[in-house]
Chains A and B, each alone.
Chain A
């Protein structure tokens, strides 16, 4: 029988948002950063991005095939993971190390826990931390960017990230357009902000997490007597706040939950930047808050309509 009536349970209003559409928006938002990376660090960053994206998509396909589940490479989430991972690496890293990172991100963190929507931490972030712990020298080897100030070029081949450099080495303009050392995606603050604005306008991310994250970090730098603007523009803070912390799977759903989560991210980032022996604290703080998300969500369950809270001590 030709059934022309489509009967389904509520909700009946459908949006055109699909995973694929959202992921495509994230890729578009990351384009300025990727282009900036290619301009600043040259052709090698394009190769690095291509290697990471290709490896992630391939591994996602193979992992789903082995587990006899339907292929999910069509939703582009593996492309986003690969792109984010590549943007978190220094430009002269060995491609094999980058591929190992893809393996951690896609197979261990994402597919072993059930694929898209099931991962307990952001895959690209977890892969970056595994690489940072496993290959500390390769992961912290920063090449001088094109046109960096002379004071940062004494070494000729390597340069300190703005966080490790002496005060006054970089101006705000240097940080905005990426004339400094660092991972290929974190140096150009202007491109990251552009991508973030696009995501907010397209309503892919809510501005709560990035804004509260950055505000907390700025407040904390004031408390520690640092230059807040310099702290916000340097290191991986913008990349983390806009693209990593806002991952749907690993950030809270409710607005109060998002605020708590973002405050936690900002607090731990500045704490790690100032008191740990690591140069950067963004990835560790977001990872920590990722793990706390289930607790935050349990704490901030919205009140059901018409629900009256029971007085304390009252039995059921």
Chain B
């Protein structure tokens, strides 16, 4: 009973509470780059989710075999293998998406959501929870990308999924500044949702910090280093 509930939680936490894009602020580069249209956003989200689930499963299965000192190169090799497979599949079955995603498809290899989940979760937990964690994070990533994609496409090109809805086009929304603006607004909304639901927004974010693995600082002293440097 207890086990089941926590497994379900592993899945749901990635969607709102620890949404990789809006709360952990990981994977910002693909988020800003490919969300110029809703179609691109879904393509990117699904591709990344596939890689995330597979790599989480394999890394979690191999976690006792991989030596601790070379774990990052090992993780990247595994992830790169899956990315290659996904890239070949996309090229074969959805060449249009492959063209519009361009370099960002192979760049999933260094997407910090995938590496971050491998480091933070899959390297420490059994296979089944790792798969669910990957699936939840992937769904959260896709949902955030889809939100941004719809808002930016609607305002920037006046269409959704290519269907023309509005005659007005505010070009700035499909350009980088508009991307940052929509991203900021969505982070604000996610924060608001989380605080309203009574969840405490993390202030010492070691759990969600991409540097957590290599950082030697204690959580409660996080951020103090810069402060002392400024004084000197």
Chain A residues near B (Cβ < 8 Å): 100, 108, 130, 133-136
Contacts and interface: CB of A to CB of B under 8 A. Distances in A.
Secondary structure call for the A interface: helix
B171 A136 contact: yes
A304 B175 CA distance: 46
A134 B157 CA distance: 11
B102 interface: no
A108 B182 CA distance: 12
B29 interface: no
Contacts of A100: 170
15 contacts: A100-B170, A108-B181, A130-B172, A130-B177, A133-B171, A133-B172, A133-B175, A133-B177, A134-B170, A134-B171, A134-B172, A134-B173, A135-B170, A135-B171, A136-B171
A101 B185 CA distance: 18
B32 to A, nearest CB: 16
Interface string B35-55: 000000000000000000000
B203 to A, nearest CB: 22
Interface string B167-186: 00011110101000100000
A163 B172 CA distance: 25
Contacts of A135: 170-171
**Most-contacted residue by chain A among B170, B173, B177 (CB, 10 A):** B170
Nearest to B156: A134
A106 to B, nearest CB: 16
A135 B173 CA distance: 11
Contacts of B175: 133
A134 B169 CA distance: 8
Contacts of A133: 171-172, 175, 177
A206 B179 CA distance: 38
A133 B181 CA distance: 14
A138 to B, nearest CB: 11
Nearest to A94: B168
Contacts of A136: 171
B154 to A, nearest CB: 14
A100 to B, nearest CB: 7
Contacts of A108: 181
A246 B179 CA distance: 30
A136 B175 CA distance: 13
Contacts of B172: 130, 133-134
Contacts of B170: 100, 134-135
Nearest to B171: A134
Contacts of B173: 134
